[in-house]
Amino acid sequence: MKLHREGTTIIGVGLLILGIIQLGNYYLLQAIEQEWLFYLISLAVIIFAILIIQFFRVPKRKYEIKENEIICPADGKVVVIEEVEETEYFKDKRIQVSIFMSPLNVHANFNPISGVIKFVKYHPGLFLVAWHPKSSTENERTTIVTEHKNGKEVLFRQIAGAVARRICYYVKEDQKVEAGTEFGFIKFGSRIDIFLPLGTEINVNIGDKVKAQITTLGKFK
């Protein structure tokens, strides 16, 4: 496991602030001689330090992707599987699969298929809770479309949540990508929507806990 580069500043500043709090906690103990309070604050400092560090973890995973598989781009829980009208790029019916990422999930995002990036667009926006129906169209988000060598396209959208305030993405149009490689990161709670061609075989169900690079969302037919 490694720590993501997006966390370098936040981890450093966070640990510095927690260190100052713990130092003040030590002097507080000397002043009021309440050991229980010292240990309580110390425990809280340790828990916050662990939470900050674990949020930016990127586990090393072994994965093997078959020809027509579409893999999960993020860790989290499947909250939507439905046929919808995709209005930004395709402007037609697609199968939407949405994955909610809690603050405890890995927040690095990975390419769901191999192919060529055909479309990238960042949208500033609101910070509604990630499960809100309008979060897909009104929250801060990034839309990316990749064309598979079979000619089929997959759209995936990073969506900021109520806590998330920054979406990071590292791909650009006409770039060739491999399934399972990293394309972005979302800081704190958020979700990803994936729009698949009608007729795609879906391999997950609502409520499933999924893992990026490992879980197969579906297969092209």
Q: Which positions are annotated as active-site residues?
A: 190
What does the H/E/C string look like for the chain? Answer: CEECHHHHHHHHHHHHHHHHHHHHHHHHHHHHCCHHHHHHHHHHHHHHHHHHHHHCEECCCCCCCCCCEEECCCCEEEEEEEEEEECCCCCEEEEEEEEEECCCCCCEEECCCCEEEEEEEEECCECCCCCCCCHHHHECEEEEEEECCCCCEEEEEEEECCCCCCEEECCCCCCEECCCCEEEEECCCEEEEEEECCCCEECCCCCCEECCCCCEEEECC
Q: Output the CA–CA distances (angstroms, integers) from residue 191 to 38, 101, 113, 140, 187, in the order listed.
A: 38, 5, 18, 11, 11
